[in-house]
Amino acid sequence: MECQRRATIIISLLLISNSITLIYFYPKEVAPPGGEKFAAYEEVIRTYQGDPLALPEPERSGFITVEEAIASRRSRRKYSHDPLALPQVSQLLWAAQGITSEDGKRTTPSAGAIYPLKIYLVARNVHGFENGVYHYIVEEHKLGKLLDERVFEAFFEVAGQPYSKKAAVTFIITVNYPKVAQKYKGEELKRFALQESGHVGQNLYLQGESLGLAMVVVGEFDTQGVKEVLDFPDQETAVYLIPVGSKMLE
Protein backbone atom coordinates (compact mmCIF):
# COMPACT_ATOMS: atom_id res chain seq x y z
CA MET A 1 0.00 0.00 0.00
CA GLU A 2 2.84 2.37 0.92
CA CYS A 3 4.56 1.77 -2.47
CA GLN A 4 1.29 2.35 -4.34
CA ARG A 5 0.73 5.62 -2.43
CA ARG A 6 4.26 6.82 -3.28
CA ALA A 7 3.80 5.92 -6.96
CA THR A 8 0.53 7.90 -7.06
CA ILE A 9 2.25 10.95 -5.54
CA ILE A 10 5.14 10.77 -8.04
CA ILE A 11 2.78 10.51 -11.04
CA SER A 12 0.75 13.46 -9.76
CA LEU A 13 3.90 15.58 -9.37
CA LEU A 14 5.02 14.69 -12.91
CA LEU A 15 1.64 15.70 -14.35
CA ILE A 16 1.73 19.01 -12.50
CA SER A 17 5.30 19.63 -13.72
CA ASN A 18 4.33 18.94 -17.35
CA SER A 19 1.35 21.27 -17.08
CA ILE A 20 3.53 24.08 -15.76
CA THR A 21 6.01 23.52 -18.61
CA LEU A 22 3.23 23.74 -21.20
CA ILE A 23 1.80 26.92 -19.69
CA TYR A 24 5.10 28.79 -19.53
CA PHE A 25 7.11 27.43 -22.46
CA TYR A 26 4.69 26.31 -25.18
CA PRO A 27 4.87 28.71 -28.17
CA LYS A 28 2.08 31.25 -28.31
CA GLU A 29 0.50 30.12 -31.57
CA VAL A 30 -3.02 29.95 -32.92
CA ALA A 31 -4.24 27.04 -35.05
CA PRO A 32 -7.04 28.08 -37.44
CA PRO A 33 -8.86 25.71 -39.82
CA GLY A 34 -6.59 23.60 -42.01
CA GLY A 35 -3.99 22.97 -39.32
CA GLU A 36 -1.92 26.07 -40.11
CA LYS A 37 -0.21 27.85 -37.24
CA PHE A 38 0.52 31.54 -37.01
CA ALA A 39 2.91 33.28 -34.64
CA ALA A 40 1.35 35.47 -31.95
CA TYR A 41 0.12 38.84 -33.20
CA GLU A 42 2.59 41.69 -33.22
CA GLU A 43 2.20 45.06 -34.94
CA VAL A 44 5.06 45.54 -37.40
CA ILE A 45 6.34 49.11 -37.78
CA ARG A 46 7.38 49.66 -41.40
CA THR A 47 10.44 51.70 -42.37
CA TYR A 48 9.91 53.97 -45.37
CA GLN A 49 12.26 55.46 -47.94
CA GLY A 50 11.97 59.16 -47.18
CA ASP A 51 8.94 60.94 -45.81
CA PRO A 52 5.49 59.49 -46.60
CA LEU A 53 3.62 61.22 -49.40
CA ALA A 54 0.42 63.04 -48.41
CA LEU A 55 -2.37 62.11 -50.85
CA PRO A 56 -4.98 64.48 -52.26
CA GLU A 57 -8.19 64.68 -50.26
CA PRO A 58 -10.70 62.12 -51.61
CA GLU A 59 -14.03 63.18 -53.05
CA ARG A 60 -17.24 62.28 -51.22
CA SER A 61 -19.49 62.45 -54.30
CA GLY A 62 -19.05 61.06 -57.80
CA PHE A 63 -20.21 61.43 -61.38
CA ILE A 64 -22.36 58.29 -61.56
CA THR A 65 -24.77 56.63 -59.14
CA VAL A 66 -24.05 53.48 -57.18
CA GLU A 67 -26.63 51.69 -59.33
CA GLU A 68 -24.87 52.77 -62.52
CA ALA A 69 -21.51 51.60 -61.17
CA ILE A 70 -22.97 48.20 -60.22
CA ALA A 71 -24.59 47.79 -63.62
CA SER A 72 -21.40 48.63 -65.57
CA ARG A 73 -18.91 46.81 -63.34
CA ARG A 74 -16.80 44.34 -65.29
CA SER A 75 -13.44 42.60 -64.88
CA ARG A 76 -11.14 44.27 -67.42
CA ARG A 77 -7.70 42.89 -68.23
CA LYS A 78 -6.63 45.30 -70.98
CA TYR A 79 -5.15 48.68 -70.17
CA SER A 80 -4.03 51.63 -72.22
CA HIS A 81 -0.60 53.21 -71.83
CA ASP A 82 -2.12 56.34 -70.28
CA PRO A 83 -0.89 56.97 -66.73
CA LEU A 84 -3.21 57.32 -63.76
CA ALA A 85 -3.39 60.66 -61.98
CA LEU A 86 -2.46 60.87 -58.31
CA PRO A 87 -6.00 62.01 -57.31
CA GLN A 88 -7.34 58.81 -58.93
CA VAL A 89 -4.92 56.68 -56.91
CA SER A 90 -5.88 58.59 -53.77
CA GLN A 91 -9.57 57.99 -54.43
CA LEU A 92 -9.05 54.26 -54.96
CA LEU A 93 -7.03 53.90 -51.76
CA TRP A 94 -9.68 55.75 -49.78
CA ALA A 95 -12.40 53.51 -51.25
CA ALA A 96 -10.38 50.47 -50.21
CA GLN A 97 -9.74 51.33 -46.55
CA GLY A 98 -10.17 55.06 -45.97
CA ILE A 99 -11.27 56.56 -42.66
CA THR A 100 -14.90 57.74 -42.69
CA SER A 101 -15.60 58.78 -39.07
CA GLU A 102 -13.92 60.47 -36.15
CA ASP A 103 -13.78 57.18 -34.22
CA GLY A 104 -11.81 55.47 -37.00
CA LYS A 105 -14.46 53.55 -38.91
CA ARG A 106 -13.50 52.76 -42.50
CA THR A 107 -15.06 52.44 -45.94
CA THR A 108 -15.34 48.66 -45.54
CA PRO A 109 -16.82 46.69 -42.61
CA SER A 110 -14.57 44.65 -40.35
CA ALA A 111 -15.67 41.90 -37.94
CA GLY A 112 -15.10 43.21 -34.43
CA ALA A 113 -13.60 46.41 -35.89
CA ILE A 114 -10.24 44.59 -35.92
CA TYR A 115 -9.16 45.83 -39.38
CA PRO A 116 -6.55 43.13 -40.10
CA LEU A 117 -5.98 44.15 -43.73
CA LYS A 118 -3.07 46.10 -45.20
CA ILE A 119 -3.09 47.76 -48.61
CA TYR A 120 0.06 47.94 -50.72
CA LEU A 121 0.52 49.61 -54.07
CA VAL A 122 2.88 48.61 -56.88
CA ALA A 123 3.01 51.86 -58.88
CA ARG A 124 4.53 51.74 -62.36
CA ASN A 125 2.65 54.42 -64.32
CA VAL A 126 1.25 57.26 -62.22
CA HIS A 127 1.67 60.81 -63.55
CA GLY A 128 4.28 62.78 -61.59
CA PHE A 129 4.75 59.90 -59.15
CA GLU A 130 7.89 57.87 -58.49
CA ASN A 131 7.64 54.19 -59.41
CA GLY A 132 7.94 51.69 -56.57
CA VAL A 133 6.14 49.67 -53.92
CA TYR A 134 4.17 51.62 -51.33
CA HIS A 135 2.24 50.98 -48.13
CA TYR A 136 -1.04 52.83 -47.61
CA ILE A 137 -0.94 54.51 -44.21
CA VAL A 138 -4.68 54.50 -43.56
CA GLU A 139 -4.78 56.75 -40.50
CA GLU A 140 -2.92 59.56 -42.28
CA HIS A 141 -4.09 58.96 -45.87
CA LYS A 142 -0.48 58.80 -47.01
CA LEU A 143 1.76 56.48 -49.00
CA GLY A 144 5.04 55.28 -47.53
CA LYS A 145 7.59 54.02 -50.04
CA LEU A 146 9.06 50.59 -49.21
CA LEU A 147 10.90 49.45 -52.36
CA ASP A 148 11.95 50.93 -55.68
CA GLU A 149 11.16 49.66 -59.17
CA ARG A 150 14.09 47.24 -59.24
CA VAL A 151 11.77 44.62 -57.72
CA PHE A 152 9.22 44.91 -60.56
CA GLU A 153 10.65 42.13 -62.72
CA ALA A 154 10.68 39.66 -59.83
CA PHE A 155 7.23 40.77 -58.69
CA PHE A 156 5.59 40.29 -62.08
CA GLU A 157 7.13 36.82 -62.28
CA VAL A 158 5.24 35.75 -59.14
CA ALA A 159 2.12 37.83 -59.84
CA GLY A 160 0.86 35.03 -62.06
CA GLN A 161 -1.05 37.10 -64.63
CA PRO A 162 0.67 38.64 -67.70
CA TYR A 163 -1.73 41.57 -67.87
CA SER A 164 -0.49 42.81 -64.47
CA LYS A 165 2.65 44.06 -66.23
CA LYS A 166 0.59 46.53 -68.28
CA ALA A 167 -1.51 47.95 -65.45
CA ALA A 168 -0.63 51.40 -64.14
CA VAL A 169 -0.84 50.16 -60.54
CA THR A 170 -1.45 46.89 -58.75
CA PHE A 171 -3.13 46.88 -55.37
CA ILE A 172 -2.14 44.11 -52.98
CA ILE A 173 -4.35 43.20 -50.04
CA THR A 174 -2.77 41.29 -47.18
CA VAL A 175 -4.45 39.73 -44.14
CA ASN A 176 -2.91 39.52 -40.69
CA TYR A 177 -4.53 36.28 -39.46
CA PRO A 178 -2.91 36.42 -35.99
CA LYS A 179 -4.59 39.81 -35.46
CA VAL A 180 -7.98 38.24 -36.22
CA ALA A 181 -7.13 35.34 -33.90
CA GLN A 182 -7.04 37.75 -30.95
CA LYS A 183 -10.83 37.64 -31.02
CA TYR A 184 -12.02 34.87 -33.35
CA LYS A 185 -11.16 31.19 -33.53
CA GLY A 186 -12.01 28.18 -35.66
CA GLU A 187 -13.83 28.64 -38.95
CA GLU A 188 -14.73 32.27 -38.15
CA LEU A 189 -11.08 33.30 -38.18
CA LYS A 190 -10.48 32.90 -41.91
CA ARG A 191 -14.08 33.47 -42.93
CA PHE A 192 -14.21 36.98 -41.47
CA ALA A 193 -10.79 37.97 -42.84
CA LEU A 194 -11.58 36.80 -46.37
CA GLN A 195 -15.04 38.36 -46.31
CA GLU A 196 -13.39 41.67 -45.44
CA SER A 197 -10.94 41.43 -48.33
CA GLY A 198 -13.93 40.80 -50.62
CA HIS A 199 -15.53 44.01 -49.39
CA VAL A 200 -12.36 45.90 -50.34
CA GLY A 201 -12.30 44.31 -53.79
CA GLN A 202 -15.89 45.32 -54.52
CA ASN A 203 -15.30 48.85 -53.27
CA LEU A 204 -12.38 49.14 -55.66
CA TYR A 205 -14.48 47.79 -58.53
CA LEU A 206 -17.24 50.35 -57.97
CA GLN A 207 -14.83 53.24 -57.39
CA GLY A 208 -12.93 52.24 -60.52
CA GLU A 209 -16.16 52.31 -62.54
CA SER A 210 -16.94 55.75 -61.16
CA LEU A 211 -13.51 56.96 -62.29
CA GLY A 212 -13.76 55.31 -65.71
CA LEU A 213 -10.88 52.91 -65.02
CA ALA A 214 -10.27 49.24 -65.85
CA MET A 215 -9.45 46.64 -63.18
CA VAL A 216 -9.70 43.00 -62.20
CA VAL A 217 -9.28 41.06 -58.95
CA VAL A 218 -6.74 38.22 -59.06
CA GLY A 219 -6.58 35.31 -56.63
CA GLU A 220 -4.25 33.01 -58.57
CA PHE A 221 -0.65 33.97 -57.83
CA ASP A 222 2.41 32.74 -55.97
CA THR A 223 1.53 33.70 -52.40
CA GLN A 224 4.92 32.89 -50.88
CA GLY A 225 6.72 34.44 -53.83
CA VAL A 226 4.86 37.74 -53.40
CA LYS A 227 5.66 37.74 -49.67
CA GLU A 228 9.37 37.19 -50.32
CA VAL A 229 9.78 39.60 -53.24
CA LEU A 230 7.96 42.44 -51.48
CA ASP A 231 9.40 41.62 -48.05
CA PHE A 232 6.07 41.41 -46.25
CA PRO A 233 6.09 40.72 -42.47
CA ASP A 234 5.70 37.08 -41.47
CA GLN A 235 2.23 37.75 -40.05
CA GLU A 236 0.84 39.05 -43.36
CA THR A 237 -0.53 36.89 -46.16
CA ALA A 238 -1.42 38.30 -49.59
CA VAL A 239 -4.96 37.32 -50.61
CA TYR A 240 -5.68 39.65 -53.56
CA LEU A 241 -3.76 41.27 -56.39
CA ILE A 242 -5.77 43.94 -58.18
CA PRO A 243 -4.30 45.48 -61.36
CA VAL A 244 -5.81 48.86 -62.29
CA GLY A 245 -5.23 51.05 -65.34
CA SER A 246 -6.78 53.39 -67.85
CA LYS A 247 -9.38 51.79 -70.11
CA MET A 248 -8.57 50.80 -73.67
CA LEU A 249 -10.57 52.72 -76.26
CA GLU A 250 -13.39 50.49 -77.54
Domain ranges of the chain: 2-246
> Is the pLDDT confidence value at 34 over 80?
no
> Computed over its alpha carbons, how large is the radius of gyration of the chain?
23
End-to-end CA distance of the chain: 93
CA–CA distance from 186 to each of 28, 103, 180, 189 (Å)?
16, 29, 11, 6
- Give the pLDDT band (50/70/90) at residue 217: very high
Lowest mean pLDDT among 25-34, 128-137, 196-205, 235-244: 25-34
Interval 6-29: pLDDT, tens: 544 444 444 444 433 332 332 334
CA distance 110 to 116: 8
Dump strand ranges (E) for the chain. Answer: 29-30, 38-39, 53-54, 117-123, 132-137, 142-147, 169-176, 213-215, 236-246
Contacts of 26 (CB under 8 A, 6+ apart): none
Where residue 43 falls among pLDDT bands split at 50, 70, 90?
confident
CA-CA distance, 174 to 216, in Å (whole number)? Answer: 17
Residue pair 55/142 in contact (Cβ under 8 Å)? The answer is: yes
pTM of the model: 0.84
What three-state secondary structure class fits 220? Answer: coil
Classify 139 as helix, strand or coil: helix
In contact, 32 and 178? CB cutoff 8 Å = no
2-246: what CATH class? alpha beta
> Nearest 10 degrees: CA dihedral of 235, 241, 245, 250?
-170
Instruction: Determine the Cα–Cα distance for residues 44 and 120; give it in Å rounded to an integer.
Output: 14
pLDDT tens-digit readout, 158-216: 998 888 889 999 999 999 999 999 999 988 999 999 999 999 999 999 999 999 999 99
pLDDT, average across residues 42-63: 91
pLDDT band for 41, please (50, 70, 90 cuts): confident
Beta carbons within 8 Å of 51's beta carbon, 6+ residues apart: none
